């Protein structure tokens, strides 16, 4: 039996919706049918660019029998009502990270898709980067020895541009600024590599911005396994994405050129993974020699890959998306714990955040 492309509609038609469309329209497993935004101008521009139909209301879009799934890229605080409506209409749902910016909204989403029995996928794409996948393989193989700590940073200059009338400049829509918009990728990668976080301690500052928004964040994580991590993220510097993994036998240094982030089909070509290990080992620590080995990255396509996994889950080809609602709840709980930690000047556990919801 031939594979029938999953017929999808885009909901929320801003900049990121177009980047996502560029990824899933490269796939033969997905067919873009229609789109919705409250903005007529955005609807017209999206339709012209991608050759799809549009609807002037979400209700009309969700009532169409020829649409099987929706791809949601609305502002973060609007995820819950859109996903609840889509699930109630029997539509499968992909939503870009984070799952929500409030824990009660995240729980509502989890309940809505579970009750409706629809496929739900969350766009934490960074764990699909070639360097991240190969770092995981090297950790699991024992090549690094016992891993104790990871340092990671995801930053860009967005805070220098945002104003209070932009949703990213408003704390209730993007709490923590880059913590919600960028560092949540790092949080998910650390969840993928180290498992669940137990508690965090964080500092957030508003610097070099016209909006009353946090722009510089530093977060320490202790995992349930006992391992430790540092997450840096800010909106006041040229783009950077790196991760350093520290093991007893070797250290990994991974970085990518942020300028290629939105072009997932080539970003791995603009990335590097360096393994630093002992070239010789003696009883004398002053005579132990180190060597840096460049690890060849096997190119992937993180955005396209997540959409094809979503389509395969709908068609019953796999066991479901890798990143589910429970993982999304864990990740936003880390963000909310970091916010509380910065406000109250103390470590905050995820249990505290999740149980309050």
Strands ordered across the beta sheet of 147-155: 289-294, 271-280, 250-256, 240-247, 147-155, 228-234, 216-223, 197-205, 348-349
Phi, psi of 274 (to 5 degrees): -115, 130
Domains of the chain: 6-125+304-321 (3.40.50.720), 126-301+333-348 (3.30.360.10)
Average pLDDT estimate for 156-185: 90
Report the DSSP beta bridge partners of residue 341. none
pLDDT surpasses 80 at 35? yes
Strand-pair category, 6-11 with 69-72: parallel
Q: How far is CA 214 from the centre of its chain?
A: 19
Question: What is the DSSP-derived secondary structure letter of residue 32?
Answer: E
Q: Which tokens sit at 154?
A: 């995801």
Phi, psi of 67 (to 5 degrees): -105, 120
DSSP letters, 87-128, are HHTT-EEEEESPS-SSHHHHHHHHHHHHHHT--EEEE-GGGG
DSSP letters, 312-352, are HHHTTSSSS-SS-HHHHHHHHHHHHHHHHHHHHTS-EEHHH
Among residues 297, 294, 296, 293, the alpha carbon closest in space to that of 277 is found at: 293
Q: Which tokens sit at 351?
A: 């249990």
pLDDT surpasses 80 at 282? no
CA atoms within 13 A on the CB side of 140: 10
pLDDT digits (tens, 9 = 90+) for 62-114: 999 999 999 999 999 999 999 999 999 999 999 999 999 999 999 999 999 99
Tell whether omega for the bond before 338 is within 30 degrees of 0, i.e. cis.
no
Percentage of the chain lying above the pLDDT 90 cut: 90
pLDDT surpasses 60 at 232? yes
Alpha-carbon Rg for the chain, nearest whole angstrom, is 21
Can you tell me the distance from the alpha carbon of 57 to that of 44, in angstroms, rounded to the nearest whole number? 14
Average pLDDT estimate for 281-303: 87
Q: What is the pLDDT of residue 74?
A: 96
281 pLDDT tier (thresholds 50, 70, 90):
low
Can you tell me the distance from the alpha carbon of 84 to that of 72, in angstroms, rounded to the nearest whole number? 12
Q: What is the pLDDT of residue 8?
A: 98
Strand-pair category, 120-123 with 92-96: parallel
pLDDT surpasses 70 at 9? yes
Where does the chain show beta strands of DSSP type E? 6-11, 30-36, 69-72, 92-96, 120-123, 147-155, 197-205, 216-223, 228-234, 240-247, 250-256, 271-280, 289-294, 348-349
Mean model confidence pLDDT for the chain:
95
Q: How far is CA 255 from the centre of its chain?
A: 17
Q: In 10 A of CB 101, how many CB atoms?
A: 25
SS3 state of residue 288: coil
Q: How far lies 71's CA from each of 12, 86, 95, 143, in Å?
A: 8, 10, 6, 39
């Amino acid at each position: 039996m031939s594979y029938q492309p999953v017929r999808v509609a885009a909901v929320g038609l801003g900049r990121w919706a177009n980047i996502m469309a560029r990824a899933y329209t490269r796939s033969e497993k997905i067919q873009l049918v229609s789109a919705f935004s409250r903005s007529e101008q955005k609807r017209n521009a999206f339709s012209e660019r991608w050759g799809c139909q549009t609807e002037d209301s979400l209700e009309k879009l969700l009532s169409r029998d020829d649409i099987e799934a929706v791809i949601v890229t609305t502002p973060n605080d609007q995820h819950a009502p859109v996903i609840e409506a889509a699930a109630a209409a029997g539509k499968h749902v992909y939503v870009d990270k984070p799952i929500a910016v409030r824990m009660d909204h995240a729980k509502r989403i989890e309940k809505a898709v579970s009750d409706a029995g629809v496929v739900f996928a969350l766009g934490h794409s960074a764990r699909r980067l070639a360097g991240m996948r190969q770092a995981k393989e090297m950790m699991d193989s024992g090549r690094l020895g016992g891993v104790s700590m990871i340092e990671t940073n995801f930053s860009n200059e967005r805070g220098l541009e945002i104003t209070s009338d932009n949703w990213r400049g408003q704390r209730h829509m993007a709490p923590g600024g880059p913590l919600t918009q960028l560092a949540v990728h790092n949080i998910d990668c650390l969840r993928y590599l180290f498992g669940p976080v137990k508690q965090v301690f964080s500092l957030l500052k508003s610097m070099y911005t016209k909006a009353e928004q946090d722009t510089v964040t530093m977060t320490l994580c202790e995992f349930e396994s006992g391992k430790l991590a540092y997450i840096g993220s800010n909106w006041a510097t040229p783009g950077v994405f790196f991760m350093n993994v520290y093991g007893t036998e070797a250290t990994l240094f991974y970085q990518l050129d942020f300028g290629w982030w939105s072009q997932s089909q080539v970003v791995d070509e603009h990335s590097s993974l360096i393994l630093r290990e002992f070239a010789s080992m003696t009883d004398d620590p002053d005579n132990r020699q180190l060597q840096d080995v460049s690890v060849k990255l096997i190119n992937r396509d993180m955005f396209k890959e997540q959409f094809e996994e979503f389509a395969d889950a709908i068609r019953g080809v796999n066991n479901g998306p890798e990143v589910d609602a429970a993982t999304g709840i864990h990740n936003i709980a880390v963000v909310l714990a970091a916010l509380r930690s910065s406000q109250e000047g103390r470590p905050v556990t995820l249990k505290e955040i999740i149980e309050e919801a």
